[in-house]
Each structure stands twice: as C-alpha cells, then as structure tokens.
Amino acid sequence: MHVSAFICNHNSFLIYGSLEEPTLKNWSRVTHVSVSLAFVISVVFAACGYMTFTGYAEGDIFENYCRDDNLATFGRFCYGVTVILTFPLECFVTREVIANVFFHGNLSTVFHIVVTVVIIAVATGVSLVYDCLGIVLELNGVLSATPLVFIIPTACYLRLSKERWNHSDNLISCLILAVGVLVMTVGFVLTILHPQECSHGKEMFYCFPSNVSFRNSTLPP
C-alpha cells in the first residue's frame, strides 16, 4: 500500500497556480513528466533493492545497509535533504487550509509565521516520537489516498450525473468506485492483521563481524 500513499492531490491547485502560464497543456506536460520520472526512479530503486537483498529487503531500503557503509550514509544524507526540501510543500497546503477555514483566507505576517511554526513543530514532534513509517504510510494510503483518488471523485460524478447509476456512461465510474472501496477495505484489514515490522534502527544481522563472510556473498532468497 506504500505506492498509494504517494499522492499530491492536495498540492495540485497551488502548483497549478505557480505555473508561469497556467494552462491545461502546460499542466499536462508537468504532471506527465514528473509522474513518469518518479515512476521510473521508484521502479529502479525497488528492483535494485530486491535483487540485492531479496527476502531481507526492508520497507526503508536504507535499513538494509550497515552503518559503516559510507556510500549508504551519503545516500541517507541526500534523502534527508530531499525530505527537507519537500516538507514545505505539505506545510503550504496545511497553512492554506487553516487560513481559509479560520481566518477567511487572510493571514497577517505574525499569524503567518505563528501558524507555520506550529505546523512544523507538531509534525516534527510526532516524527521524533514514532520511528516506524511503514504502518503510517500504509494507513495513509488506504484511508486517505484511496478515497481521494478513487472513491470521492467518482462518487461526486455519480451524484451530479443526470443519468441513473447503471447507465452506460456511469459504468466506468461505478467500477472505479467499487474497486476503490474494495482496495480500501482489504488494505485496511491487511494492514491491521499483518502490520509491517519495524527494526527501530537495529542493524541487520549480516552487519556484524561474525557474519562478515555473509556480507561478501549474495543474499539467499
């Protein structure tokens, strides 16, 4: 369910408005290029991670590398920089919602800073308390991403449609809605019954000196 967690619906309006020429053609080009690039990178990382560690592959591939691996440490650093640069996008959306709901869309400079600091402080505090993101991403995927992508849009379309739900024009929407409900239900049940294990920063067994010969060999399936 991790794949379902990577959504950007909440950023779409802000990113569309930031385009120099906000047209559907430019928006289509930006979304297709960015999503295609993200897909290729995700597939490459997933394939390389599994081919390297096979059955020992963790949800966070960096957990498979030992602490004395300098290249992996550099990779963790690059990943951290990526998160730092991405995090403000999430803050922008949350701050925009708070401004529209509680302040009628207008924030003074003082409240702008206060709201931003509070959002970052709360998110940082939660992240420092809980170190296992697997269950978080899975629940986010099945309870947030799936309704946003499959259920809510199709339900709204069917509700506003002048035809009956079983009309030929609505069959695809009904199919997507049913699949979305099925994925959300099954995904939630599987996440609760079979939660992903977390290593809590513990190094893999092959990182210890007694298993140095194992580290230099190919991991068995």
- In order along its 221 residues, the chain shows pLDDT tens digits of 344 444 566 677 778 888 888 898 998 898 899 889 988 988 998 898 889 888 888 777 888 888 888 998 998 899 888 877 777 777 787 888 888 888 887 888 888 888 888 988 888 787 777 777 667 777 877 888 788 888 888 888 888 888 777 777 788 888 988 998 998 999 899 888 887 777 666 777 778 776 555 455 545 44
Closest of 32, 66, 97 to residue 199, by C-alpha:
66
| pLDDT in the model for residue 92 | 80
- d(CA 67, CA 204) in angstroms, rounded, equals 10
Hey, what are 34's tokens?
């960015």
CA–CA gap between residue 141 and residue 176 (Å, rounded): 16
pLDDT of residue 216: 52
Q: For residues 137 and 3, what is the distance between their CA atoms, to the nearest angstrom?
A: 9
Q: In the prediction, which pLDDT does 181 show? A: 92
> What predicted TM-score, i.e. pTM, was given to this entire model?
0.56
Nearest Cα to Cα of residue 148 among 183, 192, 191: 183
Distance CA 137, CA 6 (A): 9
The residue type found at 96 is E
Identify the pLDDT of residue 220: 47
Taking the C-alpha atoms of residue 53 and residue 123, their distance in angstroms, rounded to an integer, is 32
Give me the pLDDT at residue 167, please: 77
Instruction: Determine the pLDDT at residue 74.
Output: 94
The CA distances from residue 76 to 63, 131, 146, 185, in Å, are: 10, 15, 29, 34
The whole-number pLDDT of residue 3 equals 40
Q: Where do runs of H (alpha helix) occur along 60-207?
A: 70-102, 109-129, 134-140, 146, 152-160, 171-193
**Cα dihedral sign for 135, 138, 142, 144?**
positive
For residue 69, CA distances in Å to 27, 49, 55, 133, 211 come to 41, 15, 21, 23, 15
